Amino acid sequence: MTVAQMRAHLNLDDDIEDDELLEGLITAAREYAEEYTKRCFVESTYELSLDDWPGGDEIRIPIAPLLSVVSMNYRNSDDEYVGVEVADYAVAIADEPPRVVLRRWSGWTSGSWGCGRPGALVIELRAGYAPAGSPADAANVPARIKVAIKLLAAHWYEHREAVASETRQVPVELPLGVAALLDPFRRIV
């Protein structure tokens, strides 16, 4: 979402100089929607650090949509990080939640690694719908998510504090439509 798109949505005249405010509101609305849905909209790199293999032959990834596993490293008995060979695991990117699945049992899974220690297994991940640094080219972000971000940013622009509805005097923080648009994408983790 660009400031120009937000200005058009709000029908702002060119003489209103609120671009910095609008940029901040767009970012805050995107961050809110990401937290609400437990999804990443703009491509980012994350590091998942585990103290142990979580049991079984798979790791459920708490970030979606997953684009790739960049690397997976474990701590060996000498407390040094060693890369896990790509041939030793498969990545189920399209699954919900995404998963890393062991393909075969090799030396690193046999107890020779530092399980039970902080950061015993570190996975570097790339996740997101839109390419990093390209808010105008967010074609892969679902339309309902983009509309929700636009509605929320516009709501915050028009109402600079929590507002009470006309029928209830209790402050309402989210316009009803935002939750309705985001709920289908909400992950329970």
Which tokens is 68 given? 């790739």
**CATH number of the domain that 175 lies in?**
1.10.3230
Q: The domain containing residue 35 runs over which residues? A: 3-39+134-185
Q: Cα 80–86–89 angle (5° rounding)?
A: 100
Q: Give yes or no: residues 95 and 144 share one domain.
A: no
Q: Give yes or no: residues 61 and 106 share one domain.
A: yes
The answer to whether 145 and 182 have CB atoms below 8 angstroms apart is yes
In this structure, what is the dihedral angle of CA atoms 52, 76, 82, 72, given to the nearest 10 degrees? 0
Reported pTM: 0.74
Better-predicted residue by pLDDT, 31 or 139: 31
Q: Give yes or no: residues 21 and 50 share one domain.
A: no
Q: Does residue 172 have a pLDDT over 90?
A: no
Q: Give yes or no: residues 179 and 151 share one domain.
A: yes
Q: Give yes or no: residues 53 and 107 share one domain.
A: yes
Per the structure, the count of domains in the chain is 2
Which tokens is 102 given? 């062991």
Q: Give yes or no: residues 152 and 93 share one domain.
A: no
Q: Give yes or no: residues 88 and 140 share one domain.
A: no
Q: What is the pLDDT of residues 32-68, one digit of tens each?
A: 999 999 999 888 899 999 988 777 788 999 989 999 9
Q: Give yes or no: residues 66 and 123 share one domain.
A: yes
Which tokens is 61 given? 């990834």
Q: Give yes or no: residues 122 and 63 share one domain.
A: yes
Q: Which residue has the tokens 């570190």?
A: 122
Instruction: Give the chain's mean pLDDT.
Output: 83
pLDDT at 171: 62
pLDDT at 92: 94
Better-predicted residue by pLDDT, 176 or 108: 176
Please state, as a whole number, how many other Cβ atoms lie within 10 Å of the Cβ of residue 71. Answer: 14
Which tokens is 45 given? 């790199």
